[in-house]
Amino acid sequence: MLPRLDAIDRRILKELMNDGRLTNVALAQRAGITPPPCLRRVRALEEAGYIVGYHAVIDEKMTGFPVTVFVSVALHNQADADLRAFENVCLTWPMVRECYMMSGETDYHLKCIAPDVARFEAFLRNQLGATPNVASVKTAISIRQAKREPGVPLEIVVQ
């Protein structure tokens, strides 16, 4: 069982979600504690699995990927081996940035980014649509991103 988060742990996580490059001294100051216990808490949060990594948030358009497409994928068969096979092939596709197994009408929901619609269409025809066990694919091209909030809403206290 994971240790429960107290108010200081939640503050540390919130500050790191906002700025993963904070120094330990700055993080400790924002969390209202001194640097040594702050560092111990961060390490404990990492070891417990609350913090799974650090990364930079990159602007897709600035780096040449202005097209975001959400894709719903239905499979012919949903046996465990078939689901794992589809997930494993998704791991090899660079355009697929996120992959979620879903309940309901479709089996998977993918978030893809592409340099242009033509390149996405080629991926759709030559890779995704040609994948064994794929029964249907539905796409929705994003017009504009209205919100981007990484992490979790720690201000909603979960008991």
Residue 153 lies in a domain: no
Residue 120 sits in a domain of what CATH number? 3.30.70.920
Helix (H) or strand (E) holding 74: strand 67-75
Q: What is the pTM of this model?
A: 0.86
Q: Domain span at residue 135?
A: 67-141
Residue 61 lies in a domain: no
SS3 content of the chain, % helix, strand, coil (to 5): 35, 20, 45
Residue 25 sits in a domain of what CATH number? 1.10.10.10
Angle at 147 (CA atoms; ends 142, 151), nearest 5 degrees: 115
Same domain, 81 and 131: yes
Calpha distance 29→144 (Å, rounded): 37
Residue 96 lies in a domain: yes
User: What is the pLDDT, as a whole number, of residue 1?
Assistant: 54
Asked if residues 67 and 116 have their Cβ atoms less than 8 Å apart, the reply is: yes
Domain count, the chain: 2
Tens of pLDDT along the chain (159 residues) come to: 556 889 999 999 999 999 999 999 999 999 999 999 999 999 999 999 999 999 998 999 999 999 999 999 999 999 999 999 999 999 999 999 999 999 999 999 999 999 999 999 999 999 999 999 999 999 999 999 999 988 899 888 665
Residue 133 Rama label (left phi>0; alpha psi -120 to 50; beta): left
User: What is the pLDDT, as a whole number, of residue 10?
Assistant: 94
SS3 3: coil
Calpha distance 3→45 (Å, rounded): 9
Residue 147 lies in a domain: no
Same domain, 89 and 136: yes
Residue 114: name the closest of 128, 102, 100 by CA: 128
